[in-house]
């Protein structure tokens, strides 16, 4: 069997395992419950600060993990690291972040917890996920249109 095929399969299995662990963590922390998330976002009402500890723990693990992994010359299952350029804050990023925040505040879901919610039987996620996929498709379509426009001299 070709080494690239083995690496590709190993990468898929590793991704599946990481996704399962991530989904389990979202379930244990109750981030799959939109009421819990909306309670965290409602700072003027009955604020539920418990998700702040979940986010803090996730940031700590990610910070340690990124430091360890980025010391390697390349990832295990890819040719190179795919890291965004530091300091590249532009209008599309800010607009996207604002739309993400508005959607999160309205629905109580963001992509990871919405997908994990399916495993926990949350029916609301069945409505949210098609809208999320449509929004992602619209963004890609818009980006392709923008890339095909001629640049003014």
The tens-digit pLDDT sequence of the chain (153 residues) is 555 656 677 778 888 898 888 888 888 888 888 888 888 888 888 888 888 888 899 899 999 988 888 888 888 777 888 877 767 788 888 988 898 888 888 888 888 888 888 877 888 888 888 888 998 899 899 889 988 887 665
- Total domains present in the chain: 1
Report the pLDDT value the prediction gives residue 5, as an integer from 0 to 100. Answer: 58
95-100 own/partner pairs: CB under 8 Å, 24+ apart: 96/139, 99/135
Nearest CA-CA partner of 26 in 11, 37, 41, 42: 37
Residue 72, in any domain of the structure: no
Angle subtended by helix axes 34-41 and 91-107, to nearest 10: 120
Residue 134, in any domain of the structure: yes
Report the pLDDT value the prediction gives residue 2, as an integer from 0 to 100. Answer: 59
Residue 15, in any domain of the structure: yes
- Contacts for 48 with CB less than 8 Å, ≥ 6 apart: 36, 39, 40, 42
Q: Which residues form the domain of 97?
A: 3-53+87-148
Residue 153, in any domain of the structure: no
Residue 123, in any domain of the structure: yes
Cα 94 from chain centre: 16
DSSP string, 94-141: HHHHHHHHHHHHHHS--HHHHHHHHHTT-THHHHHHHHHHHHHHHHHH
Residue 28, in any domain of the structure: yes
Report the pLDDT value the prediction gives residue 141, as an integer from 0 to 100. Answer: 93
Residue 74, in any domain of the structure: no
Residue 108, in any domain of the structure: yes
Residue entry with tokens 């949210």: 128
Global confidence as pTM: 0.67
């Amino acid at each position: 069997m070709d080494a690239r095929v083995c690496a590709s399969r190993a990468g898929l299995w590793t991704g599946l395992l990481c996704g399962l662990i991530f989904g389990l963590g979202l379930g244990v922390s109750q981030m799959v419950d939109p009421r819990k998330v909306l309670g965290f976002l409602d700072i003027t009402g009955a604020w539920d600060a418990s998700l702040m500890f979940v986010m803090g723990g996730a940031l700590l693990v990610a910070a340690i993990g990124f430091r360890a992994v980025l010391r390697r010359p390349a990832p295990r299952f890819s040719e190179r690291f795919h890291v965004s350029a530091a300091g590249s804050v532009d209008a599309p990023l800010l607009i996207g972040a604002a739309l993400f925040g508005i959607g999160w505040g309205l629905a109580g879901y963001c992509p990871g917890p919405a997908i994990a919610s399916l495993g926990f039987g949350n029916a609301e996620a069945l409505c949210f996920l098609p809208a999320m996929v449509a929004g992602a498709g619209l963004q890609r379509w818009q980006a392709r249109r923008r890339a095909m426009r001629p640049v003014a001299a």
